[in-house]
Amino acid sequence: MTVPTRSPNVPADLFSIQKWFASIITQPIDHNSQMNPISPSGRFMSDEAGDVILPNSKLSSAQRIQIYNQQYWWRLLSILHKNFPALTRLFGHADFNNTIGMPFLTAYPSRHWSLAQLGHQLSHWIDQYYKAEDRALILATAEVDWAYQSIFFASPPSYLPPSMDLLSKKLTLQPHLKLFNFPFDIFSLRASLLKEEVEHWLESDFPVLLRERNYFFFLFRTLENQILYKEVEEAQWIFLNLINKGLSINEICDYFEQQEIKIGKDVESYLDRWIQEWINERWLLM
C-alpha cells in the first residue's frame, strides 16, 4: 500500500487519519493472524486506536482496526498463493506466509493498482534473502511461477514483416516467450505439484526432481492463448538466447562455427526448421 500524499483539498485531520490507518493495517500480523499490540509510534494499540476510532457495542477500537489489518494481509497473501502456485505447494500455506509472503511484502509492499502484478519482485527478494539449502529450487520455482503469470498478461504478439534480409536483422523475442536453463527438471516437478491441492503435499512426499543433466526449456503462449512449456536442444536454446541478446542470425551462425562440433552440427541440421517454427509461432520481434 502506498502511503497517501496529501492533496491541498484534503483537510489536515483527514490526511492524518489516512496516514495512521495505512501505517497500522500494513504492520505484519502474527502467526495467529493477530495484530501487533504495539503501534508504529510505540504506544499500545489498545490505547492508541481509541484516539482515532470509536468502539461499537461488540468490538473495541483496537479490535475494529484489527479486522482491516487482517483483511489487508489475508487478501495479499491469497493473491501470492494464486500467482505462485507451485512455490506455495512446496511450503504449504502457513509456512509460505511466514517464510516468504509476509517478509517479502514487508520489504516490497504492494504499490501497483493491479493485483496481477503482486510478486513481480519476489524472485529478486528470494535471491537476496532466502538462504536455506533448497535455495536454488525455491528461486527457480518462483521464477517459473512468475513467468506463467507474466506470459498470461503479455501483450498480443506482433507479426514479423516478411523480409529478404531476415538473416542480418537485429531481432528480439516476443514477451510471450521465456527461456529457462536449470540443472533439474523444474517444469515436470511443477506439473506434478499442481495436480494436487496445497494440503495434499503437507502429508505426501514430493515428486522426484530429476537432476540427470542440464535442462533447456521454452515457456510460451500459443496463438490459442494456452501457456505451454517445451524442452529443447541446447543448441536451439542458445540460438534464441543469443537473438534475445541482440545478435543477428548471421552473427550467431558465425559464433556457432567456432563452437564444439556437436552443437555446430545441430545448428546446421535444424536451423531452417527452427526459424520456420519461430516465425509461425510469432516468437521473433523486430
- Domain coordinates in residue numbering, the chain: 160-286
Tell me what pLDDT residue 174 has.
94
Tell me what pLDDT residue 286 has.
79
Tell me what pLDDT residue 254 has.
85
Tell me what pLDDT residue 187 has.
98
Mean pLDDT value across the chain:
91
Rounded CA separation 8/6 (Å): 6
* Main-chain dihedrals φ then ψ at residue 244, nearest 5 degrees: -65, -20
pLDDT in tens, 21-41: 999 999 999 989 999 999 999
Tell me the pLDDT band of 262, cut-offs 50, 70 and 90. low
CATH of span 160-286: 3.90.930.50
Greater pLDDT, 1 or 253: 253
Burial environment of residue 253 by CB neighbours within 10 A (0 to 12, 13 to 18, 19 or more)? middle
Residue 181 has pLDDT above 90, yes or no: yes
Q: Contact, 142 vs 130, CB < 8 A?
A: no
Tell me the pLDDT band of 3, cut-offs 50, 70 and 90. low
Average pLDDT of the segment spanning 88-100: 97
Tell me what pLDDT residue 271 has.
86
Q: Contact, 232 vs 219, CB < 8 A?
A: no
**By mean pLDDT, which of 90-99, 123-132, 211-220, 243-252 is the weakest?**
243-252
Per-residue b/e over 45-74, b at no fewer than 16 CB within 10 Å?
A: beebbeeebeeeeeebbbbebbeebeebbe
Rounded CA separation 147/277 (Å): 21
- pTM of the predicted model as reported, rounded to 2 decimal places: 0.89
pLDDT in tens, 56-75: 999 999 999 999 999 999 99
**By mean pLDDT, which of 124-128, 132-136, 172-176, 252-256 is the weakest?**
252-256
Residue 263 has pLDDT above 70, yes or no: no
Per-residue b/e over 89-115, b at no fewer than 16 CB within 10 Å?
A: bbbebeebbeebbbebbeeeebeeeee
